[in-house]
């Protein structure tokens, strides 16, 4: 939450509050070793340790660390061996990085409308959809479509969330992606991770992310005889060390979020013009998501919270049908690539042109939670939210 000295809230999100010099054993180990490039050491690199830790924690067969979540999405798409102009179905409500990842791979995004929870409506997907990205936004576990060959789960905002059957998000389909951007469940400022159960996909990702070859630790550089082109998306040892430290606190972060969520929801004003968007037991409860009867009431709630220094946000900025990249089919290429390979006509699946979704977004408000606070401070923070909303 935003700084509110009266409620003991700190201006840091989630995992950032658990960063402390006394707790940075992995980073000290990397600095003492004086090797910051993961393939320059013959011992297990910190990046490899991170991947092993993440795979074990998430129940995934393979994990690969990269610079950020957008690169993670790109790696997943490239590993499917697509053709230029292939369609990728993505949620109409998500961060523009999802569309950017699709376009940067030479592929074409198709916007799919969302359900009441703002997750991709799987019922709108055509039966022949081959590549689908679903996003678990705000820690909410989204439904995933069956029988899609290349289902990619964008878990940037939902690390640690679980499906009803106990599986971790990111493990239900072809691959899952995670972000360690500053405002995520865990953070290293930037950073990304891919998990997959497909060994061939992992091998293709691993090669592409380091100039097209699978490196041999301690023998850099080496080249595969069948090397294809790639990029440098290799994470550094220092960033991986911070992420290892963060993973040690994941359960603590999730428990703190769970505790404060219950406290905050219990203290929301009981009024007929306000409802809480349901959360499942497995959601990563990074915020309280509420829906007002009208946009005017929502905006009044925003003003009341902001005046008291309580962090809050709306989700209208995530409506991709109104983003200039999509509305203007803009591109840095002179020939409009890859839009020049797109089929004619609208690239959207919605029964009403996203009118219902616009209305839902106009009435939705999110208040983030502070997992690091002790329970008395969490109670005070919840009371501050309650008092602010009672004035609306």
Q: Cite the active site residues.
A: 184
Backbone angles phi, psi at 86, to 5 degrees: -60, 150
Strand partners, 141: none
Q: Which neighbouring-strand residues pair with 152? A: 133, 175
Instruction: Give the residue among 334, 368, 321, 371 at the shortest CA–CA distance from 93.
Output: 321
Short-list 309, 296, 321, CA closest to 381: 309
3-state secondary structure of 251: helix
223: left (phi over 0), alpha (psi -120 to 50) or beta: beta
Confidence at residue 42, expressed as pLDDT on a 0 to 100 scale? 80
pLDDT, tens only, 1-24? 333 443 444 556 788 889 999 999
* Strand pairing category for 348-349 and 108-112: parallel
Distance CA 375, CA 48 (A): 36
DSSP for 197-243 reads S-HHHHHHHHHHTBTTS---TTS-S---TT-----B-BPBHHHHHHH
**250-318+354-389 — its CATH code?**
3.90.1150.10
CB atoms within 10 A of CB 240: 27
Q: What is the Cα 335 distance to its own chain's centre? A: 31
Indicate the average pLDDT of the chain.
Answer: 94
For residue 244, is it left (φ>0), alpha (ψ between -120 and 50) or beta? alpha
- Rounded to the nearest 5°, which phi and psi values hold at 201? -65, -45
Query: What pLDDT shows up at residue 11?
Result: 55
307: three-class secondary structure by DSSP: helix
pTM of the model: 0.94
H/E stretch holding 142: none
- Distance between CA atoms of 105 and 244, rounded to whole angstroms? 30
CATH topology of domain 14-249+324-346: 3.40.640
Task: Please state the domain extents for the chain.
Answer: 14-249+324-346, 250-318+354-389
Mean pLDDT by 10 residues, the chain (392 residues): 41 82 96 93 92 97 97 98 98 98 98 97 97 97 96 97 97 98 94 97 95 81 85 96 97 96 96 96 96 98 96 96 95 96 93 98 96 94 96 97
Strands (E), the chain: 62-66, 87-91, 108-112, 131-135, 150-154, 175-179, 192-196, 274-276, 287-292, 348-349, 364-368
Q: Which residue(s) pair with 175 in the sheet?
A: 152, 196
Strand-by-strand arrangement of the 192-196 sheet: 62-66, 192-196, 175-179, 150-154, 131-135, 87-91, 108-112, 348-349
Q: Are 90 and 112 in contact (CB under 8 A)?
A: yes
Q: Taken in order 81, 85, 86, 92, is the CA torsion positive or negative?
A: positive
Residue 308 near residue 388, CB atoms below 8 Å: yes
């Amino acid at each position: 939450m935003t700084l509110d000295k009266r409620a003991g809230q700190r201006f840091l999100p989630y995992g950032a509050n658990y960063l402390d010099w006394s707790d940075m054993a992995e980073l000290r180990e990397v600095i003492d070793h004086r090797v910051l490039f993961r393939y320059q050491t013959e011992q297990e690199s910190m990046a490899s340790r991170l991947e092993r830790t993440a795979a074990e924690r998430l129940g995934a067969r393979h994990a690969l660390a990269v610079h950020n979540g957008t690169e993670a999405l790109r790696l997943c798409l490239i590993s499917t061996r697509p053709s230029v102009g292939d369609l990728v179905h993505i949620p109409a409500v998500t961060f523009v990085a999802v569309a950017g990842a699709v376009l940067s791979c030479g592929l074409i995004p198709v916007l799919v409308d969302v359900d009441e929870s703002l997750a991709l409506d799987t019922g709108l997907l055509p039966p022949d959809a081959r590549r689908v990205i679903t996003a678990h936004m705000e820690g909410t576990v989204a439904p995933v479509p069956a029988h899609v060959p290349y289902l990619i789960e964008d878990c940037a905002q939902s690390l640690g969330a679980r499906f009803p059957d106990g599986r971790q998000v990111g493990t239900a389909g072809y691959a899952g992606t995670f972000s360690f951007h500053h405002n995520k469940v865990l953070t290293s400022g930037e950073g990304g991770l891919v998990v997959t159960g497909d060994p061939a996909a992992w091998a293709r990702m691993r090669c592409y992310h380091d100039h097209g070859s699978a490196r041999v630790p301690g023998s850099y550089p080496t080249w595969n005889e069948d090397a294809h082109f790639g990029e440098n998306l290799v994470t550094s040892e220092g960033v991986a060390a911070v992420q290892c430290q963060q993973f040690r606190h994941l359960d603590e972060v999730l428990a703190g979020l769970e505790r404060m969520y219950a406290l905050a929801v219990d203290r929301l004003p009981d009024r007929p013009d306000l409802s809480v968007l349901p959360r499942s037991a497995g959601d990563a409860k990074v915020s309280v998501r509420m829906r007002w009867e009208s946009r005017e009431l929502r905006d009044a709630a925003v003003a009341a919270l902001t005046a008291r220094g309580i962090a809050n946000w709306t989700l209208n900025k995530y409506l991709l049908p109104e983003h200039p990249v999509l509305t203007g089919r803009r591109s840095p290429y002179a020939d409009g690539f890859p839009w020049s390979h797109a089929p004619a006509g609208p690239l959207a699946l919605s029964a009403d042109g996203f009118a219902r979704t616009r209305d839902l977004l106009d009435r939705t408000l999110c208040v983030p939670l502070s997992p690091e606070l002790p329970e008395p401070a969490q109670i005070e923070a919840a009371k501050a939210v309650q008092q602010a909303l009672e004035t609306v």
